[in-house]
Structure 1
Amino acid sequence: MIQITLIQIDNYGPWTVTPGPRHEPDLQTLQSRLYGDLEREFGARGGIVFFNRFDNLIAVSNGIGEEDHRKIQESIRNRYPITVSMGVAARPTPLEAQKVATEMIQKGGGAQSDKRCEVLNIESLASDDESKVQIAHIDINNITTTLTDVETAYNTSITVYEVLFELMKELKKLGALCFFIGGDNYMAPSNGITRSQLRDALKKVDEKTGVTLKAGVGISKFGGRAADLADLGLEDIRADLTDDSILVFHD
Protein backbone atom coordinates (compact mmCIF):
# COMPACT_ATOMS: atom_id res chain seq x y z
CA MET A 1 0.00 0.00 0.00
CA ILE A 2 1.23 3.45 -0.87
CA GLN A 3 0.10 6.37 1.28
CA ILE A 4 -0.55 9.71 -0.38
CA THR A 5 -1.06 13.08 1.31
CA LEU A 6 -2.61 15.88 -0.74
CA ILE A 7 -1.57 19.28 0.65
CA GLN A 8 -3.58 22.33 -0.35
CA ILE A 9 -3.13 25.97 0.67
CA ASP A 10 -6.27 27.28 2.38
CA ASN A 11 -8.17 30.15 0.75
CA TYR A 12 -5.10 31.01 -1.34
CA GLY A 13 -6.74 32.60 -4.38
CA PRO A 14 -8.74 35.22 -2.44
CA TRP A 15 -5.77 35.85 -0.11
CA THR A 16 -3.50 36.77 -3.04
CA VAL A 17 -5.80 39.67 -4.03
CA THR A 18 -6.89 40.87 -0.56
CA PRO A 19 -6.98 43.77 0.19
CA GLY A 20 -5.41 44.24 -3.25
CA PRO A 21 -3.29 42.14 -5.63
CA ARG A 22 -0.12 41.16 -3.80
CA HIS A 23 3.34 41.62 -5.31
CA GLU A 24 3.82 38.66 -7.68
CA PRO A 25 7.51 38.03 -6.86
CA ASP A 26 6.50 37.78 -3.19
CA LEU A 27 3.85 35.19 -4.04
CA GLN A 28 6.32 33.16 -6.08
CA THR A 29 8.79 33.32 -3.21
CA LEU A 30 6.16 32.14 -0.73
CA GLN A 31 5.21 29.18 -2.93
CA SER A 32 8.80 28.08 -3.49
CA ARG A 33 9.69 28.40 0.19
CA LEU A 34 6.55 26.51 1.20
CA TYR A 35 7.52 23.65 -1.10
CA GLY A 36 11.02 23.62 0.37
CA ASP A 37 9.75 23.60 3.94
CA LEU A 38 7.20 20.87 3.28
CA GLU A 39 9.87 18.79 1.54
CA ARG A 40 12.06 19.18 4.60
CA GLU A 41 9.23 18.36 7.04
CA PHE A 42 8.05 15.25 5.19
CA GLY A 43 11.59 14.24 4.24
CA ALA A 44 12.68 14.28 7.88
CA ARG A 45 9.94 11.72 8.52
CA GLY A 46 10.82 9.43 5.60
CA GLY A 47 8.48 10.92 3.00
CA ILE A 48 8.92 12.92 -0.18
CA VAL A 49 6.90 15.83 -1.60
CA PHE A 50 6.25 16.76 -5.24
CA PHE A 51 5.34 20.38 -5.94
CA ASN A 52 2.59 19.49 -8.44
CA ARG A 53 1.01 23.00 -8.83
CA PHE A 54 2.63 24.67 -5.79
CA ASP A 55 -0.74 25.59 -4.24
CA ASN A 56 -1.46 21.84 -4.39
CA LEU A 57 1.37 19.50 -3.43
CA ILE A 58 1.42 15.71 -3.31
CA ALA A 59 3.45 13.76 -0.77
CA VAL A 60 4.27 10.08 -0.52
CA SER A 61 3.81 9.81 3.23
CA ASN A 62 4.16 6.14 4.24
CA GLY A 63 5.10 5.93 7.91
CA ILE A 64 3.75 9.40 8.73
CA GLY A 65 0.72 9.31 11.03
CA GLU A 66 -1.90 11.77 12.22
CA GLU A 67 0.23 13.41 14.91
CA ASP A 68 3.07 14.16 12.52
CA HIS A 69 0.69 15.56 9.91
CA ARG A 70 -0.69 17.94 12.54
CA LYS A 71 2.81 18.95 13.61
CA ILE A 72 3.64 19.82 10.01
CA GLN A 73 0.47 21.91 9.71
CA GLU A 74 1.34 23.72 12.94
CA SER A 75 4.87 24.42 11.75
CA ILE A 76 3.57 25.99 8.52
CA ARG A 77 0.99 28.08 10.41
CA ASN A 78 3.67 29.42 12.74
CA ARG A 79 5.93 30.58 9.90
CA TYR A 80 3.58 31.62 7.08
CA PRO A 81 0.66 34.00 6.60
CA ILE A 82 -1.36 31.07 5.23
CA THR A 83 -2.39 27.60 6.44
CA VAL A 84 -2.57 24.24 4.70
CA SER A 85 -5.17 21.48 4.72
CA MET A 86 -4.43 17.82 4.05
CA GLY A 87 -6.20 14.69 2.86
CA VAL A 88 -4.59 11.29 3.37
CA ALA A 89 -5.31 7.85 1.93
CA ALA A 90 -3.52 4.54 1.37
CA ARG A 91 -4.25 2.31 -1.61
CA PRO A 92 -2.46 -0.30 -3.76
CA THR A 93 -1.81 2.25 -6.52
CA PRO A 94 -0.72 5.90 -6.30
CA LEU A 95 -3.46 7.01 -8.70
CA GLU A 96 -6.20 5.58 -6.51
CA ALA A 97 -4.58 6.84 -3.31
CA GLN A 98 -4.43 10.43 -4.57
CA LYS A 99 -8.03 10.18 -5.78
CA VAL A 100 -9.25 9.27 -2.29
CA ALA A 101 -6.91 11.81 -0.65
CA THR A 102 -8.43 14.48 -2.91
CA GLU A 103 -11.93 13.45 -1.86
CA MET A 104 -10.87 13.70 1.78
CA ILE A 105 -9.62 17.26 1.44
CA GLN A 106 -12.69 18.27 -0.57
CA LYS A 107 -14.89 17.07 2.29
CA GLY A 108 -13.30 19.74 4.44
CA GLY A 109 -14.47 22.56 2.19
CA GLY A 110 -13.59 24.31 -1.04
CA ALA A 111 -10.10 25.51 -1.90
CA GLN A 112 -11.27 29.14 -1.78
CA SER A 113 -13.50 28.84 1.27
CA ASP A 114 -12.68 31.29 4.06
CA LYS A 115 -14.14 28.77 6.51
CA ARG A 116 -11.65 25.98 5.78
CA CYS A 117 -8.53 26.11 7.94
CA GLU A 118 -6.04 23.31 8.60
CA VAL A 119 -8.41 20.46 7.81
CA LEU A 120 -6.81 17.03 8.25
CA ASN A 121 -9.01 14.26 6.90
CA ILE A 122 -7.43 10.80 7.00
CA GLU A 123 -9.30 8.06 5.21
CA SER A 124 -6.64 5.41 5.85
CA LEU A 125 -2.97 4.98 6.73
CA ALA A 126 -0.57 2.31 5.48
CA SER A 127 0.41 0.02 8.35
CA ASP A 128 4.04 -0.96 8.78
CA ASP A 129 3.34 -4.48 7.52
CA GLU A 130 1.57 -3.38 4.33
CA SER A 131 3.67 -0.27 3.59
CA LYS A 132 5.35 -0.36 0.17
CA VAL A 133 6.52 2.44 -2.10
CA GLN A 134 7.78 1.99 -5.63
CA ILE A 135 9.25 5.06 -7.32
CA ALA A 136 10.78 5.35 -10.78
CA HIS A 137 13.36 8.06 -11.48
CA ILE A 138 13.17 8.68 -15.22
CA ASP A 139 15.42 10.85 -17.36
CA ILE A 140 16.23 11.68 -20.97
CA ASN A 141 19.33 10.13 -22.56
CA ASN A 142 22.05 12.54 -23.69
CA ILE A 143 19.96 15.70 -23.29
CA THR A 144 23.09 17.85 -23.05
CA THR A 145 24.38 16.95 -26.53
CA THR A 146 20.99 16.55 -28.22
CA LEU A 147 19.15 19.55 -26.78
CA THR A 148 20.82 21.70 -24.10
CA ASP A 149 23.99 22.51 -26.08
CA VAL A 150 22.36 22.82 -29.50
CA GLU A 151 18.84 24.20 -28.92
CA THR A 152 17.63 27.35 -27.23
CA ALA A 153 16.81 27.02 -23.55
CA TYR A 154 13.12 27.55 -24.23
CA ASN A 155 12.89 24.96 -27.01
CA THR A 156 14.60 22.47 -24.73
CA SER A 157 12.02 23.21 -22.03
CA ILE A 158 9.20 22.60 -24.53
CA THR A 159 10.58 19.12 -25.23
CA VAL A 160 11.06 18.39 -21.53
CA TYR A 161 7.45 19.31 -20.78
CA GLU A 162 6.15 17.40 -23.79
CA VAL A 163 7.86 14.32 -22.38
CA LEU A 164 6.29 15.01 -18.97
CA PHE A 165 2.83 15.26 -20.49
CA GLU A 166 3.21 11.98 -22.38
CA LEU A 167 4.64 10.23 -19.33
CA MET A 168 1.74 11.43 -17.20
CA LYS A 169 -0.77 10.05 -19.70
CA GLU A 170 0.95 6.70 -20.25
CA LEU A 171 1.68 6.04 -16.58
CA LYS A 172 -1.80 7.07 -15.50
CA LYS A 173 -3.14 4.17 -17.57
CA LEU A 174 -1.13 1.89 -15.28
CA GLY A 175 -2.24 3.53 -12.02
CA ALA A 176 0.90 5.64 -11.52
CA LEU A 177 1.59 9.33 -11.04
CA CYS A 178 4.43 11.31 -12.61
CA PHE A 179 6.06 14.61 -11.62
CA PHE A 180 8.75 16.87 -13.08
CA ILE A 181 11.60 17.27 -10.57
CA GLY A 182 13.94 19.55 -12.50
CA GLY A 183 16.42 19.39 -15.36
CA ASP A 184 15.37 16.47 -17.55
CA ASN A 185 14.23 14.36 -14.61
CA TYR A 186 10.87 12.94 -13.60
CA MET A 187 9.73 10.83 -10.66
CA ALA A 188 6.84 8.40 -10.84
CA PRO A 189 5.28 6.75 -7.79
CA SER A 190 4.48 3.50 -9.56
CA ASN A 191 3.29 0.75 -7.22
CA GLY A 192 1.99 -2.25 -9.12
CA ILE A 193 3.82 -1.56 -12.38
CA THR A 194 6.16 -4.32 -13.60
CA ARG A 195 9.50 -3.72 -15.27
CA SER A 196 8.09 -4.79 -18.65
CA GLN A 197 5.07 -2.50 -18.28
CA LEU A 198 7.32 0.44 -17.44
CA ARG A 199 9.62 -0.37 -20.35
CA ASP A 200 6.67 -0.43 -22.75
CA ALA A 201 5.37 2.88 -21.40
CA LEU A 202 8.76 4.55 -21.82
CA LYS A 203 9.05 3.25 -25.39
CA LYS A 204 5.66 4.72 -26.25
CA VAL A 205 6.80 8.10 -24.94
CA ASP A 206 10.07 7.74 -26.86
CA GLU A 207 8.15 7.21 -30.09
CA LYS A 208 5.83 10.18 -29.49
CA THR A 209 8.50 12.68 -28.47
CA GLY A 210 11.67 11.61 -30.26
CA VAL A 211 13.72 11.20 -27.08
CA THR A 212 15.06 8.07 -25.39
CA LEU A 213 14.23 7.47 -21.73
CA LYS A 214 15.78 5.37 -18.98
CA ALA A 215 14.72 4.73 -15.39
CA GLY A 216 16.01 3.59 -12.05
CA VAL A 217 13.32 2.08 -9.83
CA GLY A 218 13.44 1.92 -6.04
CA ILE A 219 11.22 -0.15 -3.76
CA SER A 220 11.05 0.44 0.00
CA LYS A 221 8.65 0.95 2.89
CA PHE A 222 9.21 4.70 2.72
CA GLY A 223 8.99 7.25 -0.05
CA GLY A 224 12.29 8.99 0.60
CA ARG A 225 14.22 5.72 0.67
CA ALA A 226 12.49 4.45 -2.50
CA ALA A 227 13.52 7.67 -4.28
CA ASP A 228 17.12 7.23 -3.08
CA LEU A 229 17.21 3.67 -4.41
CA ALA A 230 15.76 4.84 -7.73
CA ASP A 231 18.58 7.42 -7.93
CA LEU A 232 21.15 4.67 -7.41
CA GLY A 233 19.63 2.57 -10.17
CA LEU A 234 19.67 5.49 -12.58
CA GLU A 235 23.31 6.26 -11.75
CA ASP A 236 24.29 2.66 -12.55
CA ILE A 237 22.57 2.94 -15.93
CA ARG A 238 24.38 6.22 -16.63
CA ALA A 239 27.66 4.54 -15.70
CA ASP A 240 26.98 1.74 -18.23
CA LEU A 241 26.91 -0.92 -15.51
CA THR A 242 23.91 -2.51 -17.25
CA ASP A 243 22.65 -2.81 -20.81
CA ASP A 244 19.04 -2.43 -19.68
CA SER A 245 17.18 0.88 -19.78
CA ILE A 246 15.56 0.05 -16.43
CA LEU A 247 17.25 -1.06 -13.21
CA VAL A 248 15.33 -1.99 -10.05
CA PHE A 249 16.75 -1.79 -6.53
CA HIS A 250 14.91 -3.22 -3.49
CA ASP A 251 15.53 -2.13 0.09
Structure 2
Amino acid sequence: MIQMTLIQIDNYGPWTVTPCPRAEADLQILQSELYADLQRQFAAKGGLVFFTRFDNMLAVTNGVGAEDHLRIQKSIGNRYPITVSMGVGAAETPYEAQRKASAALQKYGGAQNEERKEILAIEGMVNPDESFVQIAHIDINGITDSLTDIIPAYDTSFIVNRVQHFLMKKLIEKGSLLFFIGGDNFMSPCNGLDPEGILKIIEEIEEEINIALKAGVGKAPSAEKAANLADLALEEIRGGFTYKLVHVMKE
Protein backbone atom coordinates (compact mmCIF):
# COMPACT_ATOMS: atom_id res chain seq x y z
CA MET A 1 0.00 0.00 0.00
CA ILE A 2 1.17 3.51 -0.80
CA GLN A 3 0.08 6.68 1.02
CA MET A 4 -0.27 10.00 -0.80
CA THR A 5 -0.85 13.47 0.65
CA LEU A 6 -2.31 16.36 -1.32
CA ILE A 7 -1.01 19.70 0.01
CA GLN A 8 -3.07 22.69 -1.12
CA ILE A 9 -2.61 26.37 -0.28
CA ASP A 10 -5.85 27.72 1.18
CA ASN A 11 -7.65 30.37 -0.91
CA TYR A 12 -4.43 31.12 -2.76
CA GLY A 13 -5.84 32.61 -5.97
CA PRO A 14 -7.83 35.41 -4.29
CA TRP A 15 -4.96 36.06 -1.84
CA THR A 16 -2.54 36.74 -4.70
CA VAL A 17 -4.68 39.66 -5.95
CA THR A 18 -5.92 41.05 -2.59
CA PRO A 19 -5.99 43.99 -1.99
CA CYS A 20 -4.21 44.27 -5.35
CA PRO A 21 -2.11 41.94 -7.51
CA ARG A 22 1.08 41.03 -5.64
CA ALA A 23 4.49 41.23 -7.30
CA GLU A 24 5.05 38.12 -9.39
CA ALA A 25 8.64 37.74 -8.18
CA ASP A 26 7.41 37.69 -4.57
CA LEU A 27 4.84 35.02 -5.38
CA GLN A 28 7.46 32.88 -7.09
CA ILE A 29 9.74 33.23 -4.06
CA LEU A 30 6.91 32.27 -1.71
CA GLN A 31 6.04 29.19 -3.75
CA SER A 32 9.62 27.98 -4.04
CA GLU A 33 10.37 28.57 -0.36
CA LEU A 34 7.16 26.82 0.68
CA TYR A 35 8.05 23.81 -1.47
CA ALA A 36 11.55 23.63 0.00
CA ASP A 37 10.15 23.97 3.51
CA LEU A 38 7.57 21.22 3.03
CA GLN A 39 10.16 18.98 1.40
CA ARG A 40 12.46 19.42 4.38
CA GLN A 41 9.75 18.67 6.94
CA PHE A 42 8.26 15.64 5.16
CA ALA A 43 11.72 14.26 4.32
CA ALA A 44 12.57 14.33 8.02
CA LYS A 45 9.76 11.77 8.45
CA GLY A 46 10.75 9.68 5.42
CA GLY A 47 8.35 11.34 2.95
CA LEU A 48 8.97 12.93 -0.43
CA VAL A 49 7.17 15.99 -1.87
CA PHE A 50 6.65 16.79 -5.56
CA PHE A 51 5.79 20.38 -6.49
CA THR A 52 3.29 19.76 -9.35
CA ARG A 53 1.56 23.20 -9.61
CA PHE A 54 3.20 24.73 -6.49
CA ASP A 55 -0.15 25.87 -5.06
CA ASN A 56 -0.92 22.14 -5.11
CA MET A 57 1.74 19.59 -4.19
CA LEU A 58 1.66 15.82 -3.90
CA ALA A 59 3.74 13.86 -1.43
CA VAL A 60 4.41 10.17 -0.89
CA THR A 61 3.97 9.93 2.88
CA ASN A 62 4.19 6.31 4.02
CA GLY A 63 5.19 6.42 7.68
CA VAL A 64 4.07 10.04 8.16
CA GLY A 65 1.21 10.00 10.67
CA ALA A 66 -1.70 12.32 11.39
CA GLU A 67 0.17 14.15 14.16
CA ASP A 68 3.11 14.69 11.83
CA HIS A 69 0.81 16.26 9.24
CA LEU A 70 -0.76 18.53 11.86
CA ARG A 71 2.64 19.70 13.13
CA ILE A 72 3.75 20.54 9.60
CA GLN A 73 0.53 22.48 8.96
CA LYS A 74 0.99 24.44 12.19
CA SER A 75 4.62 25.20 11.38
CA ILE A 76 3.67 26.60 7.96
CA GLY A 77 0.80 28.64 9.40
CA ASN A 78 3.10 30.17 12.01
CA ARG A 79 5.72 31.33 9.52
CA TYR A 80 3.94 32.13 6.24
CA PRO A 81 1.24 34.62 5.23
CA ILE A 82 -0.81 31.68 3.94
CA THR A 83 -2.03 28.34 5.33
CA VAL A 84 -2.22 24.87 3.81
CA SER A 85 -4.82 22.13 3.94
CA MET A 86 -4.04 18.47 3.32
CA GLY A 87 -5.84 15.36 2.16
CA VAL A 88 -4.43 11.89 2.78
CA GLY A 89 -5.29 8.70 0.91
CA ALA A 90 -3.95 5.16 0.70
CA ALA A 91 -4.31 2.55 -2.04
CA GLU A 92 -2.46 -0.11 -4.01
CA THR A 93 -1.48 2.36 -6.75
CA PRO A 94 -0.25 5.96 -6.47
CA TYR A 95 -2.94 7.30 -8.80
CA GLU A 96 -5.73 5.79 -6.72
CA ALA A 97 -4.12 7.01 -3.48
CA GLN A 98 -3.90 10.61 -4.70
CA ARG A 99 -7.46 10.39 -6.04
CA LYS A 100 -8.68 9.41 -2.58
CA ALA A 101 -6.58 12.16 -0.97
CA SER A 102 -8.06 14.74 -3.35
CA ALA A 103 -11.64 13.57 -2.77
CA ALA A 104 -11.17 13.65 1.01
CA LEU A 105 -10.06 17.31 0.95
CA GLN A 106 -12.67 18.38 -1.59
CA LYS A 107 -15.42 17.35 0.84
CA TYR A 108 -14.41 20.29 3.05
CA GLY A 109 -14.82 22.91 0.32
CA GLY A 110 -13.07 24.19 -2.75
CA ALA A 111 -9.52 25.50 -3.03
CA GLN A 112 -10.85 29.09 -3.00
CA ASN A 113 -13.33 28.63 -0.17
CA GLU A 114 -12.70 31.47 2.32
CA GLU A 115 -13.96 29.37 5.23
CA ARG A 116 -11.67 26.40 4.60
CA LYS A 117 -8.42 26.72 6.54
CA GLU A 118 -5.81 24.19 7.69
CA ILE A 119 -8.03 21.19 7.10
CA LEU A 120 -6.52 17.73 7.51
CA ALA A 121 -8.80 15.29 5.70
CA ILE A 122 -7.78 11.65 6.08
CA GLU A 123 -9.46 9.06 3.89
CA GLY A 124 -7.00 6.37 4.91
CA MET A 125 -3.43 5.80 6.06
CA VAL A 126 -1.06 2.90 5.52
CA ASN A 127 -0.46 0.45 8.32
CA PRO A 128 3.32 0.29 8.94
CA ASP A 129 3.23 -3.47 8.39
CA GLU A 130 1.74 -2.97 4.92
CA SER A 131 3.87 0.00 3.91
CA PHE A 132 5.51 -0.34 0.50
CA VAL A 133 6.77 2.31 -1.91
CA GLN A 134 8.12 1.70 -5.40
CA ILE A 135 9.73 4.65 -7.16
CA ALA A 136 11.39 4.80 -10.58
CA HIS A 137 14.04 7.42 -11.36
CA ILE A 138 13.85 7.89 -15.13
CA ASP A 139 16.61 9.62 -17.06
CA ILE A 140 17.13 10.66 -20.70
CA ASN A 141 20.23 9.02 -22.18
CA GLY A 142 23.15 11.30 -23.08
CA ILE A 143 21.20 14.57 -23.13
CA THR A 144 24.24 16.74 -22.38
CA ASP A 145 26.21 15.64 -25.45
CA SER A 146 23.23 15.22 -27.78
CA LEU A 147 21.14 18.25 -26.84
CA THR A 148 22.34 20.55 -24.01
CA ASP A 149 25.74 21.35 -25.55
CA ILE A 150 24.42 21.58 -29.12
CA ILE A 151 21.00 23.23 -29.39
CA PRO A 152 19.51 26.32 -27.66
CA ALA A 153 18.52 25.84 -24.01
CA TYR A 154 14.82 26.45 -24.59
CA ASP A 155 14.74 23.84 -27.35
CA THR A 156 16.20 21.28 -24.96
CA SER A 157 13.60 22.21 -22.36
CA PHE A 158 10.87 21.73 -24.95
CA ILE A 159 12.12 18.20 -25.71
CA VAL A 160 12.30 17.32 -22.00
CA ASN A 161 8.71 18.54 -21.55
CA ARG A 162 7.64 16.45 -24.54
CA VAL A 163 9.20 13.35 -22.99
CA GLN A 164 7.41 14.15 -19.73
CA HIS A 165 4.07 14.36 -21.55
CA PHE A 166 4.57 10.97 -23.19
CA LEU A 167 5.68 9.37 -19.91
CA MET A 168 2.78 10.83 -17.94
CA LYS A 169 0.26 9.63 -20.50
CA LYS A 170 1.59 6.07 -20.50
CA LEU A 171 2.22 5.79 -16.75
CA ILE A 172 -1.17 7.08 -15.65
CA GLU A 173 -2.77 4.24 -17.61
CA LYS A 174 -0.90 1.89 -15.25
CA GLY A 175 -1.97 3.73 -12.09
CA SER A 176 1.45 5.40 -11.76
CA LEU A 177 2.37 9.07 -11.44
CA LEU A 178 5.25 11.07 -12.90
CA PHE A 179 6.99 14.22 -11.71
CA PHE A 180 9.78 16.33 -13.22
CA ILE A 181 12.64 16.65 -10.71
CA GLY A 182 15.11 18.79 -12.65
CA GLY A 183 17.58 18.48 -15.51
CA ASP A 184 16.44 15.56 -17.66
CA ASN A 185 15.19 13.54 -14.72
CA PHE A 186 11.77 12.31 -13.64
CA MET A 187 10.49 10.34 -10.68
CA SER A 188 7.56 7.98 -10.85
CA PRO A 189 5.81 6.52 -7.80
CA CYS A 190 4.80 3.30 -9.52
CA ASN A 191 3.43 0.73 -7.08
CA GLY A 192 1.75 -2.03 -9.06
CA LEU A 193 3.93 -1.63 -12.17
CA ASP A 194 6.54 -4.35 -12.68
CA PRO A 195 9.98 -3.73 -14.27
CA GLU A 196 8.83 -5.32 -17.53
CA GLY A 197 6.01 -2.78 -17.69
CA ILE A 198 8.43 0.11 -17.18
CA LEU A 199 10.74 -1.31 -19.85
CA LYS A 200 7.85 -1.58 -22.30
CA ILE A 201 7.00 2.10 -21.78
CA ILE A 202 10.64 3.10 -22.31
CA GLU A 203 10.82 1.09 -25.52
CA GLU A 204 7.55 2.57 -26.81
CA ILE A 205 8.77 6.13 -26.23
CA GLU A 206 12.03 5.50 -28.07
CA GLU A 207 10.06 4.07 -30.96
CA GLU A 208 7.54 6.92 -31.01
CA ILE A 209 9.73 10.02 -30.46
CA ASN A 210 13.29 8.68 -30.83
CA ILE A 211 14.32 9.51 -27.25
CA ALA A 212 16.17 6.82 -25.29
CA LEU A 213 15.52 6.45 -21.57
CA LYS A 214 16.72 4.35 -18.65
CA ALA A 215 15.29 3.82 -15.18
CA GLY A 216 16.50 2.88 -11.74
CA VAL A 217 13.77 1.44 -9.52
CA GLY A 218 13.78 1.44 -5.73
CA LYS A 219 11.55 -0.57 -3.41
CA ALA A 220 11.31 0.18 0.33
CA PRO A 221 8.85 0.91 3.16
CA SER A 222 9.26 4.70 2.81
CA ALA A 223 9.49 7.15 -0.08
CA GLU A 224 12.85 8.52 1.01
CA LYS A 225 14.45 5.06 1.06
CA ALA A 226 12.79 4.00 -2.20
CA ALA A 227 13.99 7.16 -3.98
CA ASN A 228 17.54 6.69 -2.69
CA LEU A 229 17.57 3.09 -3.93
CA ALA A 230 16.22 4.25 -7.30
CA ASP A 231 19.09 6.75 -7.51
CA LEU A 232 21.62 4.04 -6.73
CA ALA A 233 20.09 1.69 -9.29
CA LEU A 234 20.26 4.40 -11.94
CA GLU A 235 23.91 5.08 -11.10
CA GLU A 236 24.69 1.40 -11.69
CA ILE A 237 23.25 1.73 -15.20
CA ARG A 238 25.16 4.95 -15.83
CA GLY A 239 28.37 3.39 -14.54
CA GLY A 240 28.07 0.38 -16.81
CA PHE A 241 27.63 -2.10 -13.98
CA THR A 242 24.51 -3.44 -15.70
CA TYR A 243 23.35 -3.37 -19.29
CA LYS A 244 19.68 -3.37 -18.31
CA LEU A 245 17.60 -0.29 -19.20
CA VAL A 246 15.58 -0.89 -16.03
CA HIS A 247 17.50 -1.88 -12.92
CA VAL A 248 15.86 -2.63 -9.55
CA MET A 249 17.22 -2.32 -6.03
CA LYS A 250 15.22 -3.08 -2.90
CA GLU A 251 15.71 -2.86 0.83
Tell me, yes or no, whether TM beats 0.5: yes
Q: Tell me if the contact between 1:178 and 1:186 (Cα under 8 Å) persists in the aligned partners.
A: yes
* Distance in 1 of aligned mates of 2:209 and 2:43: 33
Q: Which residue of 1 aligns with 2:207?
A: 207
Task: Give the SS at the match of 1:204.
Answer: helix
Q: Which residue of 2 aligns with 1:36?
A: 36
Q: Which residue of 2 aligns with 1:70?
A: 70
Offset at residue 209 of structure 1 (A):
2.4
Q: Which residue of 1 aligns with 2:179?
A: 179
Q: Is the aligned partner of 1:136 residue 2:148?
A: no
Task: Give the SS at the match of 1:129.
Answer: helix
Q: Which residue of 2 aligns with 1:106?
A: 106
Offset at residue 64 of structure 1 (A):
0.6
Count how many residue pairs are aligned between Structure 1 and Structure 2: 251
Q: Which residue of 1 aligns with 2:47?
A: 47
Q: Tell me if the contact between 1:220 and 1:226 (Cα under 8 Å) persists in the aligned partners.
A: yes
Q: Which residue of 2 aligns with 1:84?
A: 84
Offset at residue 204 of structure 1 (A):
1.4
Task: Give the SS at the match of 1:232.
Answer: helix
Structure 1 segments of 4 or more deviating over 6 A?
none
Q: Which residue of 2 aligns with 1:155?
A: 155
User: Which consecutive unaligned segments of at least 5 residues does structure 2 have?
Assistant: none
Task: Give the SS at the match of 2:59.
Answer: strand
Offset at residue 23 of structure 1 (A):
0.5
* Distance in 1 of aligned mates of 2:14 and 2:175: 34
Task: Give the SS at the match of 1:199.
Answer: helix
- What percent of counterpart residues are identical? 57
Offset at residue 214 of structure 1 (A):
0.2
* Distance in 2 of aligned mates of 1:81 and 1:208: 46
Offset at residue 87 of structure 1 (A):
0.3
Task: Give the SS at the match of 1:77.
Answer: helix
Amino acid at match of 2:83: T
* Distance in 1 of aligned mates of 2:57 and 2:15: 18
Taking only aligned residues, the RMSD between alpha carbons, in angstroms, comes to 0.6
User: Which consecutive unaligned segments of at least 5 residues does structure 1 have?
Assistant: none
1:94-114 Cα shifts (integer Å, max 9, x gaps): 010001101011111110111
Task: Give the SS at the match of 2:103.
Answer: helix
Amino acid at match of 2:92: P
Amino acid at match of 1:205: I
Amino acid at match of 2:131: S
Amino acid at match of 2:153: A
* Distance in 1 of aligned mates of 2:84 and 2:233: 34
